[in-house]
Amino acid sequence: MTVKVTRVVENPFDDNRKKLKDFLWKDDVEPHAERRRQIMKAHPEVNKLMGVEPLSKYLAIGLVVTQFSVAVALRHQVGSLMWYDFISILSREVNDNGI
């Protein structure tokens, strides 16, 4: 499905502005909540995947402590090649951990 959207240059916060002609405007329900309800109805096993992960707080604390510890340990190496390599690798691993 392709939808052509034309740009209207007006005040974006004005409710009386001209609406786009080639765009689907829905004023009824929030689409993501409606889609979530449809998925939950069709696949009730998804409920097991939703909720709070109790170990996330410990993982987050551990990652922050690791970053601070490395920062303190390498504070005299700032600017060296070893410092740059180690910090870039550690930062990538910690930030991409997916908390």
**Residue 18: enclosing H or E segment and its boundaries?**
none
Which residues touch 3 (CB under 8 Å, ≥6 apart)? 22, 23, 24
In the predicted model, is pLDDT for residue 8 greater than 70?
A: no
12-63 pLDDT per residue, tens: 555 665 655 666 666 777 878 888 889 999 998 988 888 888 888 898 898 8
- Helix (H, G, I), strand (E, B), or coil: what is residue 38? helix
Identify the residue with better confidence: 10 or 81.
Answer: 81
Q: What is the pLDDT at residue 46?
A: 87
pLDDT above 90 for 80: no
What are the backbone dihedrals phi and psi of residue 53, each rounded to the nearest 5 degrees, phi first? -95, 115
Domain spans of the chain?
56-95
Alpha-carbon span 99 to 93, nearest angstrom: 12
d(CA 36, CA 56): 24
Count CB-CB contacts under 10 A for residue 70.
16
Task: Tell me the pLDDT band of 5, cut-offs 50, 70 and 90.
Answer: low
pTM given for the model: 0.47
